Amino acid sequence: ITALCVLPGGCLAGGTYARDLWFWDLNSGKTIARFTGLSAAVKVLGTSKSEAVLAAGLKDSGMLRWRLDESDSLTKINGNPAPALAAAVWREPIVLSGGADGEIRIIGLESKKFLYRHAYGTAIVCGALAAEGGQGIVGDKAGRIHRFTID
């Protein structure tokens, strides 16, 4: 297992090195669904309390959106130039990416647009997004933490 996310309604999503995305019922532990043959391992998963959508970032910089109320609607989105660091659902499903170039990007998985970009000048190695939206944090290779806000 490479990533886990608890979803609304008592479901657990999990990504694997084997390029699978699993969904389990939290109470019974039974498998609800499984998607196989993704282009790469799942690196990050995110959702919100009010949205029935899962956002995912893959190790190959690919991104996925899955609508929980439409069981076969796993949609792959390309165009992310750097590895995924975090995923969430704010106004739309989003993925935070960053890497060796020192730039972070917030990519909207519905609009397929960059919603936010900022260059820090040193490699970005980790990141997190606030569940309630609008704020994030990244860590760089030099050990500094950078907080950002998106309107």
The string of pLDDT tens digits covering residues 17-39 is 999 999 999 999 999 889 898 88
What are the C-alpha distances in Å from 23 to residues 28, 29, 94, 145?
A: 12, 10, 20, 33
Please give the Cα distance from 103 to 122 (Å, whole number). Answer: 8
The string of pLDDT tens digits covering residues 102-141 is 999 888 888 888 889 999 989 998 888 887 778 899 999 9
Global pTM value: 0.79
Residues in the chain: 151
Task: Kindly give the pairing relationship between strand 42-46 and strand 31-35.
Answer: unpaired
Please give the Cα distance from 110 to 29 (Å, whole number). Answer: 31
Please give the Cα distance from 39 to 24 (Å, whole number). Answer: 22
